[in-house]
Structure formats: C-alpha cells, structure tokens
C-alpha cells in the first residue's frame, strides 16, 4: 500500500520524505490556507520534495472553471494530480483532464456508486472518506471493501486512495481491505512506528549494553 501524507506543511513533508516512507502528498484548500502562503507557490515547493503524485484541488464548482483551474495546476509541475469534487461537473472535468494526460484525484467519495462513476470517468484515484463516515455512525471501512470488490470485478485501473484517516488502526484496516493508497496526517503516519514493547525492549538492550561496557 502506498503512503501519501495529507498536509501542506513542507517541513513535515521533508521530514517524512527523508524516511523513504512517503509515496506522495495530498492537499486541499483548507490545508493550503493554514500555510498563509500563495497557493501555487506551496504546491510547487511540495512537488519539489517528492517525485510522487501531489494532489492540488480546484476551487471552482462548474465544468469550465474546473477545467481552467485544472490546466493551470497541471502546469505547476509534472507530478501534480488535479483534485476534483465528486459531482457531475467534476466527473465531466475528470474525463476531459485525464484525456489530456493529467492525473486526477476525485475526492469527497462517500458511496460505492460514486466510486463506480469516478472509475468510469477515468479517475486516477478515488478518495473515499473513512473518518467522516465513521463520524456519522457509518462504517467507513465497509466502503473500502465495497469499492475494492467492484473495481476488481471490472478490472478498473482507478486506485483506491483511502482518505480521512484518523488512527493507526484505520491504516491497518485499509491495508487489509486492499486499498491501493492511504493518506493521513503526519502525526498518524509517525505513530505507526510506536509500540510499548519496542520501547521496553530497546530500553533493556541499552541497559545491558551499558552494564557490559559494549561500544560499537
């Protein structure tokens, strides 16, 4: 499973990229706004930090506006993936942009039927929002399983990009469900390495090495 980091903080992206664990980045207007910097400038800097896909979202809601903004975003860097909302105009724009060779991430997916439409429109990625479904007492992971089965049934190339990841357990369940990609905030990705028995074991090894006077 590929790991994307969901942030516009270039320091966090650089730190995680140095571990070799990050395969791409997802952003949205809310994350970019937090940086307080020009939109295109932030996207360009992020694209320079990773060779993987960098999702940059349009703010237009009509077809013509999305096409205009999508083409501008695609010119920022070769690894920009244009992020479009899962609406009829968004799907139409997806068909046009993918036809031009631009990668597209169709976002705000909350049903298997929506995911089916995105695949038929040629989306590179579909982003089902797990955490937001959990928030309204629906099973976000069930949606990942449903999309996986549908895509496998018809051999769609669209990759399932599990989004709105809140916990380390979400990451594990996405991997078990067969998601192609997951995107999560830096803190969630960093938390995956943590385990109390790892900490305890390392503490014991270091204590024993000190007693024995071991130096490398």
- Nearest 10 degrees: CA dihedral of 66, 42, 118, 165? -140
Q: Taking CA 190 as the corner, what is the angle to CA 103 and CA 10, rounded to the nearest 5 degrees?
A: 55
pLDDT at res. 5:
98
CATH number of the domain enclosing 154: 3.20.20.70
Q: What percent of the chain has pLDDT over 70?
A: 100
Domain range holding 138? Answer: 2-212
CA distances from 114 to 87, 91, 146, 200 (A): 9, 10, 11, 46
pTM higher than 0.85 = yes
- Decide if 83 is catalytic: yes
Instruction: State the catalytic residue, choosing from 34, 75, 83, 92.
Output: 83
How many structural domains are present in the chain? 1
CB 148 within 8 A of CB 160: yes
Per residue in 128-142, pLDDT (tens digit) is 999 999 999 999 999
Exposure class string for 24-61: b at 16+ Cβ within 10 A, else e: bbbbbeebbeebeeebeebbebbbebbebbbbbbbebe
pLDDT at res. 32:
94
Per residue in 161-190, pLDDT (tens digit) is 999 999 999 999 999 999 999 999 999 999
pLDDT at res. 156:
98
Per residue in 69-108, pLDDT (tens digit) is 999 999 999 999 999 999 999 999 999 999 999 999 999 9
């Amino acid at each position: 499973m590929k790991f994307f980091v969901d942030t516009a903080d270039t320091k966090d992206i650089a730190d995680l990229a140095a571990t070799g664990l990050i395969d791409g980045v997802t952003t949205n207007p809310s994350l970019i706004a937090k940086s307080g910097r020009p939109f295109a400038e932030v996207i360009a800097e992020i694209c320079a930090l990773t060779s993987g896909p960098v999702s940059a979202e349009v703010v237009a809601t009509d077809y013509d506006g999305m096409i205009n903004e999508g083409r501008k975003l695609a010119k920022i860097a070769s690894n920009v993936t244009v992020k479009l909302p899962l609406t009829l105009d968004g799907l139409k724009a997806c068909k046009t942009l993918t036809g031009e060779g631009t990668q597209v991430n169709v976002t705000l997916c909350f049903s298997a039927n929506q995911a089916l439409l995105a695949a038929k429109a040629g989306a590179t990625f579909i982003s089902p929002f797990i955490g937001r479904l959990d928030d309204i007492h629906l099973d976000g992971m069930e949606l990942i399983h449903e999309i996986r089965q549908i895509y496998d049934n018809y051999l769609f190339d669209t990759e399932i990009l599990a989004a709105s990841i809140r916990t380390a357990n979400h990451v594990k369940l996405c991997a078990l469900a067969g998601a192609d990609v997951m995107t999560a905030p830096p803190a969630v990705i960093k938390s995956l390495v943590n385990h109390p028995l790892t900490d305890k074991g390392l503490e014991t090894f270091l204590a024993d090495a000190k007693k024995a006077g071991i130096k490398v």
